[in-house]
Amino acid sequence: MTYVITQACVDVLDKACIDECPVDCIYEGDRMLYIHPDECVDCGACEPVCPVEAIYYEDDVPDKWKDFYNANVDFFSDLGSPGGAAKTGKIGKDHPLVAALPPQGEGH
Ligand code: SF4
Ligand code: SF4
């Protein structure tokens, strides 16, 4: 099981969640952040600090954002398990679902 970052993070990525994660498993894509499904230990520390409520436990992801579960998982399909977001640094790509979104702004 894992926590999942959803659409509200896109073009926001203020990174408040990164400071809370005890295992450094929240990775930075180009337009949003992604939680590594195998490295996440389900502690829940990131969820309450997100200012836009983008983070959900996987069973609690709203239906309209269900596709973001796969977006978080598939983002790592060619990266494997890097074992730490800080040392990995910014990953200059996004899942196609995210890359196809128009620019997101306040209130969207
Ligand atoms: S705290 Fe929320 S909006 Fe900020 S980077 Fe994390 S998931 Fe994205
Ligand atoms: S639930 Fe815990 S381990 Fe998983 S991403 Fe959030 S802070 Fe990191």
C-beta neighbour count of 80 within 10 angstroms: 9
The atom of ligand 1 lying closest to the CA of 53 is 2
Stretch (H or E) spanning 99: helix 96-99
Rg over alpha carbons for the chain, rounded to the nearest Å, is 12
Cα 1 to Cα 94: distance, rounded to the nearest angstrom: 22
Q: Range with the lowest mean pLDDT among 7-11, 12-16, 34-38?
A: 12-16
Q: Does the beta carbon of 24 lie inside 6 Å of ligand 2?
A: no
Tell me the pLDDT tens digit for each residue of 30-46.
999 999 999 999 999 99
3 state SS of 5: strand
Residue 108 has pLDDT above 90, yes or no: no
Q: Are strands 33-35 and 26-28 parallel, antiparallel or unpaired?
A: antiparallel
Quick one: fold of 3-78?
Alpha-Beta Plaits (3.30.70)
- Nearest ligand to the CA atom of 20: 2
